[in-house]
Structure 1
Amino acid sequence: GLTDLAGALVWVEKARTAIVPGVSFVDPDEADVMRGEEVQLLGAHAAGLIPADSLVCHPGTHNKWARLEGARITRFTTVMTGELFNLLREHSILADLLSGTAEPTEAFAQGVRRGLGDECLTAELFKIRARVLLGQADAKDAASFGSGLLIGADVRAGLRQGSESDVTVMGRPELTRLYSEALRIAGTPCREVDGEQAFLAGAKGIAELIP
C-alpha cells in the first residue's frame, strides 16, 4: 500500500527529493516490474476513485493489469500491446496501413471481436493487409481494426486475472476510451479514472505518510 511505498523511498535530498522504488512481482513461474503505475493505482483508491478490491487496466505503451486486494497490489501483469502496435506501424509490412489514428469505430469493434476470439493473433495481423489488397476492407479503417485486434486480445487475457463484476480503466482519456469500448464489447462493465488525477492523489498520500 501507500504506507509501504512511503517507507521504502530512496532519498536523493533528505526531506526534499525522493524516488519511489516501484513494485516487483515474483513467483516460481512469473516475474514482473512496475515503475510509477503503483502510485496511480494506490492513489486512485486513496482518492475514493476505485474500491479496495479491484481489477485495474492501465493502458499505455506497456499496459498493466493489476489486482488490488484490501487496497494492496497483490498481482499484476505487463502487456506490450502499445509498443507492439507502434512497432507494427513503424517497422512492418503494415506500416503504411496502420499510420492513421485508431478510433472507436465499427472497424475497431470488428477488430476487438476478432481479438476476443480464439484466432491466431499473428495470422489475424497479416490478414489486415490481405483484406485491403483483395478489396474486403478499406485502408482507412486498418489502424482502427488493428488497434482493436490487439486490444481485444489484451482484454481477453486480462479478464482472466479477476472475477470482479467490473473493471477500472485508468490512464489518458484517448487510451481509456478504446479499452472501455473493448470491455463493453466483451460484456464487462467498466469505469474510467483519469491517470493524472490518480497520480497526484498517490503522490500526496505518500508525502503525508513521510515521518
Structure 2
Amino acid sequence: MTSRYIAIDWGSTNLRAWYYQGAECLESRYSEAGVTRLNGKSPQAVLADVTHGWRDEQTPVVMAGMVGSNVGWKVAPYLTVPAYFSAIGEKLTSPGDNIWIIPGLCVSRDDNCNVMRGEETQLLGARELSPSSVYVMPGTHCKWVRADAHQIHDFRTVMTGELHHLLLNHSLVGAGLPEQESSPVAFTAGLERGLDTPAILPQLFEVRAAHVLGNLPREQVSEFLSGLLIGAEVASMAEDFSDQHVTIVAGNTLSSRYQQALDAIGRKVAVVSGDLAFQTGIRSIAHAVAN
C-alpha cells in the first residue's frame, strides 16, 4: 500500500491540514488555531484535534509556516540563501515523534536582511509546476525570489499588502470613507501612476486629496491605492529582478493584478496557484519522509 502522510500549513492565524495517500488527498481540514490563536491549548493538543482519526505513530506529519518560528511550536532554523532546493527537505526539525517542521529561508547581508516561512514550500512546488528564474509571490508581504533549477539565490520582501491595509484602515488616507467597491478603471489608473513614478511617498497624501477634492470617487480609493502600490512595487523591483520570465505564485485576484503590472513592463508571465504550489511542495517532502 502507498504510504499515508499528513501535510499541514500552520500559520499565525489559521491552520490547514491534508491527509494523503501517495498523491491522493483523502481529506482536508481547516482550523482557526493559528500559532497566535491557540487559546490556551498546546500545539500538541491542536494537532491531535485537527488530525483526529487520521494518524497512528507510523503516519508522518510534515508542517510548514509560522509553526517553526519563535512564536510557534519549535524553532526550525532558517537556511541561509543561496540554498539548494534539496536542502529544504533535508533540514527538518522534529518537535515530536514522526512530526517534522520545514525550515524557513533567510538572507543576511549588509545590503539585504530577509526571512521567509511557508513561501519556501510554495517555491518547491512552483519550481516543479512552472520553472522560472524569478518568482513573484504576492500577499501581505510580497516575496521576489531569484532562483535557477537547483538553487534559491536571493529574495526580497515588499510590504505592499500590509501597507495597503494600514493606509486604508489606520491613516488619514482612508479616514471616513464609505464601503469600497471594485473598479478595474481606478486600479489601472493607480497602476499606471505607480509604474510611471515608483517613488510614491510624495503621492500617498495625494490619494486623500484626490477624493477630498472629488477627483477620485470615494468608493474607489482602495482600488486606486492598490494599483498605485503594486505599480510602484513592480517598477522598483523590476530592475533588480530583470529576468524576462516571471512566475507569479498566488490566488486569482492577486495574480491578475500582478500579471497586469508585469505585462505593462513587457515581462513574460506564468501563473501558479499558491495553494497548488504549497501542496505540491509539501507533498514532495512528506512523501519522501513517509517512504
TM-score (norm 1): 0.89
1:108-159 CA distance string (max 9 Å, x none) = 1111111112364122111112122222222122111100000001111221
Query: Is residue 55–residue 168 contact of structure 1 (8 Å, CA) maintained in 2?
Result: yes
Structure 2 distance, partners of 1:98, 1:164, is: 41
CA distance in 2, matches of 1:6, 1:22: 11
Measure the CA separation in 2 of the matches of 1:157 and 1:134: 29
Trace 1:35-46 onto structure 2 (pairs within 5 A): 35-46=117-128
**1:24 and 2:106 correspond:** yes
Larger RCO of the pair (alpha carbons < 8 Å, separation 6+): 1
Query: Which residue of structure 2 aligns with residue 7 of structure 1?
Result: 90
SS at 2:214's partner residue? Answer: coil
Q: How many residues are matched?
A: 206
1:196 aligns with 2:196: no
Q: Which residue in 1 is equivalent to 2:235? A: 156
CA deviation after TM superposition for structure 1 residue 174, in Å: 1.8
Cα distance per residue 1:1-40 (max 9 Å; x no partner): 44201111001223x2111110111223211101010100
Match of 2:260 in 1: 181
State which drifts further: 141-150 or 153-162.
153-162
Structure 1 pair 101–42 and aligned structure 2 pair: CA distance change class (3 A)? farther
Aligned-pair CA distance for 1:202 = 0.6
- Structure 1 residue runs of 4 or more that deviate by more than 4 Å after TM superposition: none
Aligned Cα root-mean-square deviation (Å): 1.9
CA contact (8 A) 2:198 2:236 kept: no
Residue in 2 that maps onto 1:142: 221
Distance in 2 separating the partners of 1:24 and 1:101: 38
Q: Aligned in 2, Cα 1:174/1:121: closer, same or farther, shift over 3 Å?
A: same
Of Structure 1 and Structure 2, the greater strand share is in 2
Cα gap change, 1:154 to 1:6, in 2 (>3 Å): same
Give yes or no for the alignment of 1:90 onto 2:169: yes
Aligned to 1:100: 180
Does the C-alpha gap of structure 1 residues 3 and 107 become closer, same or farther in structure 2, counting only changes over 3 Å? same
Mapped to 2, the partners of 1:139 and 1:108 lie a distance apart of 13
Contact 2:138/2:250 (<8 A) preserved: yes
CA gap 1:204/1:2 in 2 versus in 1, 3 angstroms: farther
Amino acid at match of 2:140: T
Equivalent residue, structure 1, for 2:64: none
Which residue of 2 is the match for residue 206 of structure 1?
A: 285
Contact 2:137 2:250 in 1 (8 A): yes
Aligned counterpart, 2:30 = none
Q: Give the TM-score, by structure 2 length.
A: 0.66
Which stretches in structure 2 are left out of the alignment for 5+ residues? 1-83
CA displacement, residues 47-83 of structure 1 (integer Å, 9 cap, x when unaligned):
xx222x4211100111100011223211000111111
Counting only pairs closer than 5 Å after superposition, residues 35-74 of structure 1 correspond to structure 2 as: 35-46=117-128, 49-51=129-131, 53-74=132-153
Task: Give the fraction of aligned pairs with identical amino acids, expressed as a percent.
Answer: 37
* Kept in 2: contact 1:63–1:80 (CA 8 A): yes
Query: Is this contact kept in 2: 1:10–1:18, CA < 8 A?
Result: yes
Q: Which amino acid aligns with 1:42?
A: L
1:119 to 1:69, Cα distance in 2 relative to 1, 3 A = closer
C-alpha change, 1:99 and 1:34, in structure 2 (3 Å) is farther
